[in-house]
Structure 1
Amino acid sequence: MTASPAPVAPLTARAQDVASEIVADILTLVRHETSSYDLPALAAGLDALRETAVHRLGQPDREHRHPGGACGDTLTLTYTGTAPGHVALVGHYDTVWPTGTLAGWEQPEASGDGREKLGGPGIFDMKTGLAQGIWALKLARESGAPVPTVTFLFNGDEEIGSLSSRPVIEEVAQKADVTLVLEPTAHGAVKTGRKGTGIFEVTVTGVEAHAGLAPQDGASAITALSEFVVAAARVAAPDRGTTINVGLVKGGSGTNVVAGHATASIDIRVGSQAEQDRVDAELDAIAVSDPRVRVAIEHDWNRPPMTLNAASAPLLGLAREVAREQGRGDLPDTSVGGASDANFVAALGLPVLCGLGAVGDGAHAQGEFVYPDTVPAQTALVAGLLRRLAEPLGG
């Protein structure tokens, strides 16, 4: 006798019923290209995102558009709940892709096991998560259960460091009981650890001279920078999660001139505050061989390391309970090398869970894609969390 399939949890079943509509909203957002550096496109993309939220959820009870200046604006939409809890749903709408990328984008072939894939600039990182978050609140409301107040925060500068939106993110997180970040999953796992990130700018000033007539009078900034770069690479400690990548180098004014100026931009990833302090100290201690050369380092730690803090551990436990209730089994968690806006929230000691968005792969790569068959389950997971967070966590 064949066993009957396990019944589908109500929220998941409802999400399956409307999966085509959720995917349609995802594709609408993808069609609005939103390069981090294209302000008109960002404005239009944010308008489309707001229209999607209002279409599915109605007019928000509170709304504020925070000007981003040289960055995309940050939009907050608050929907008052029917219970005391307050949840922040955070996601960025900017992408790494230049405007015009969509026109040449080729849809991916199905996976080896025949699963459909959907591709597009920003579909994985992270427009699928944005649409799923909006629908999660819609499904939670329609279920008839008490729901918390939800504040959506959509920012347009995450890919370039959240330069204008960080204060808004921190303010919203401090007013909420918990923050759920709708970044893509790590192959279905939520993200409880992220590396801290730094972009250091190194400026080297040498002494210019004619490379043929008086090379001894010069002090090459390029030679000194080369020494610095090699020494900086030795500061990396992959076994401790610390990586150092010199991504950009510029310098000199001509082949026949001893270089008087050179610069380097260095991407640094660390897994702990102790490693951040060590990197700071060891880079500052690097000396170059020519005493006539000056080296200046601009330390810019963009995001602090994120770990599973004491405030977030119960939130992870709750997410796992919801996943089991919905028949998903164990919900894995993981640490990843990339950073997100969850880093800011975790650094404040507040409860936050990241990686609740898309299931797919290829962030920041031409093969970026999502599995559309995972959209209902991911949407239901967030909807279930919202219902459980109708009361403040631990309340």
Structure 2
Amino acid sequence: MTASPAAAALTARAQEVSPRIVDDILTLVRQETSSYDLPGLATGLDLLRELTVQRLGRPDHEHRYPGGECGDTLTLTYAGTGTGTGTGAGHVLLVGHYDTVWPTGTLAGWEQLRPSDDGRDRLSGPGIFDMKTGLAQGIWALKLARESGAPLPTVTFLFNGDEEIGSLSSRPVIEEVAQKADVTLVLEPTAHGAVKTARKGTGIFQVTATGVEAHAGLAPQDGASAITALSEFVVAAAKVAAPDRGTTINTGLFKGGSAINVVAGQATAGVDIRVSSEAEQTRVDEELDAIKVSDPRVRIEIDHAWNRPPMTLNAASAPLLALAREVAREQGRDSLPDTAVGGASDANFVAALGLPVLCGMGAVGDGAHAQGEFIYPDTVPAQTALVAGVLGRLARPLRG
């Protein structure tokens, strides 16, 4: 499809500055920001703020929310130039997390430029796909939108440092700021170029088994093994999963006991649960609570910690998706697909409030949370131009 003159100019400018955008991406990647490394997170957020100010100037308003045991959350607001009124006009929230799943020290020895089977260059690094590319693209999107001369909404960037561990500190900030904005764009990576309009809800359950300690050789009969009982529970819990209904259950952490010759008196398991509906959430709760272990002397306690609600394409978000597709067509794209994914993000919180939100507006690549995660640098201009084009349209009312 042929791009309109204004859209063509925007995409051409994005192509022209693409090497600088990639440089900013790599600058962010080189500062490791593990979710559990508070000094690294603080340095990373300072770097991200500095980079934003370098590209966009000082914000009209900023606030740093202390994260406690999590990374801080930072909001930077740049006043708009548009005069649009009504739902969807005037104020856009751009959300992105700067923490990664990778432990500090992972960067050493990581191969940055990786060959690909399809002949395209790939750039790799811890957090480059999820989601430091999206952060840099979002900053440059506002810069390019400004340069285009189009009327612009007020834009608030929200950078949080605890998304990978459940947004435990930042969730109330996200919800508060999203309710003050007209629309939210989440700069998470795409699904092979598709935006994400549906995500599973997540549960991060902690299961504790309390048994009776005893000498494993002298009096094993006096003991009640927490490890054995918790193993039974984990096997039974796996059977509660219903992949055909979108429900998965994974025990990813298991620890317990005090010594090899002691019948374990304590054991814990961390269980990751994904559901596509509130009905499945209720079913999982009930069926996990109903699990019985063979030794009645062992007590099983379940912390039902539902972290993110399921996300669907709500009525408020549908016009925003239509707008993004219209911008994509104006920029010469044949289509802008959307999809449902198993992972959750901060978009889940916004969608649950009934507010307009699109997720997956960031990187094109693959391998989130896996060694070798990567982006295709040749997609950086188009993705940046897409967000810039959407910003340029949100100074006017968004009509459903």
Q: Where does 1:261-280 land on structure 2 (aligned, <5 Å)?
A: 261-280=266-285
Select 2:138's aligned residue among 133, 136, 141.
Answer: 133
What is aligned with 2:350?
A: 345
SS at match of 1:101: coil
CA distance in 1, matches of 2:281, 2:224: 32
Work out the CA distance in 2 between the residues paired with 1:252 and 1:59. 54
Instruction: State the Cα RMSD in Å.
Output: 1.6
Residue number in structure 2 paired with 1:76: 75
Q: Is structure 2 residue 202 aligned with structure 1 residue 203?
A: no
Contact 1:125 1:363 in 2 (8 A): yes
Amino acid at match of 1:270: V
Cα shift at 1:393: 2.2
Q: 1:374 to 1:313 in 2, by over 3 A?
A: same
Q: Decide whether the 8 Å contact of 1:177 with 1:393 is kept in 2.
A: no
Aligned residue identity for 1:97: W
- Matches of 1:253 and 1:21, distance apart in 2: 54
Q: Does the CA-based 8 Å contact 1:39-1:71 persist in structure 2?
A: yes
Structure 2's unaligned 5+ residue stretches are 85-89
Partner of 1:367: 372
Matched, 1:330 2:335: yes
Query: What is the Cα deviation at residue 389 of structure 1?
Result: 0.7
Amino acid corresponding to residue 185 of structure 1 in structure 2 = T
Give distance in 1, aligned partners of 2:359 and 2:42: 25
Q: Which amino acid aligns with 1:326?
A: Q
State the TM-score, normalized to the length of structure 2: 0.95
| Equivalent position to 2:359, from 354, 364, 369 | 354
Q: Which amino acid aligns with 2:107?
A: L
Alignment of 1:256-295 (within 5 A): 256-295=261-300
Change (3 A) 1:255 1:45: closer
Partner of 1:98: 103
Whole-Å separation in 2 of the counterparts to 1:220 and 1:93: 41
What is the CA-CA distance between 1:104 and the residue it aligns to? 1.0
CA distance in 1, matches of 2:3, 2:204: 52
Structure 2 vs 1, CA of residues 110 and 209 (structure 1 numbering), >3 Å: closer, same or farther?
closer
Aligned residue among 109, 113, 118 for 2:114: 109
> Which residue pairs with 1:31 in the alignment?
30
Q: Which amino acid aligns with 2:75?
A: T
Q: Aligned in 2, Cα 1:248/1:391: closer, same or farther, shift over 3 Å?
A: same
User: How far is 1:6 from its partner?
Assistant: 9.7
How far apart in 1 are the matches of 2:128 and 2:344?
Answer: 18
Identity of aligned residues (%): 84
Query: Which of 295, 300, 309 pairs up with 1:304?
Result: 309
Conserved? CA contact 1:108–1:367, under 8 Å: no
Alpha-carbon offset, residue 263 of structure 1 = 1.3
Q: 1:108 & 1:58 partners in 2: Cα distance?
A: 32
Q: Does 1:248 align with 2:253?
A: yes
What is the CA distance between 1:329 and its match in structure 2? 1.3
Counterpart Cα distance in 2 of 1:150 and 1:5? 26
Equivalent pair of 2:114/2:124 in contact (CA under 8 Å): no
C-alpha distance in 1, partners of 2:108/2:260?
Answer: 40
- 1:32–1:213 distance in 2 versus 1, CA, 3 Å: closer
- Give me the whole-angstrom Cα distance separating, in 1, the residues matched to 2:116 and 2:235: 41
Whole-angstrom CA distance in 2 between matches of 1:278 and 1:138 = 47
Q: Aligned equivalents of 1:155 and 1:165: distance in 2?
A: 6
**Corresponding residue to 1:180 among 173, 182, 185:** 185
Q: Give the whole-Å Cα distance in 1 for the aligned partners of 2:255 and 2:130.
A: 30
**Match for residue 235 of structure 1 among 240, 245, 248:** 240
Consecutive unaligned residues in structure 1, runs of 5 or more: none
Q: SS where residue 398 of structure 2 aligns?
A: coil
For the residue of structure 2 that corresponds to 1:70, the secondary structure is coil
Shift of 1:345: 0.5
Does 2:392 correspond to 1:387? yes
Are the equivalent residues in 2 in contact too, given 1:89–1:153 (CA < 8 A)? yes
Task: Label 1:330 to 1:26 Cα distance change in 2 as closer, same or farther (>3 A).
Answer: same
2:61 matched residue in structure 1: 62
- The DSSP-based 3-state class of the residue aligned with 2:114 is coil
- My pick for the range that moved more, 110-119 or 130-139, is 110-119
Deviation at 1:94, TM superposition (A): 0.8
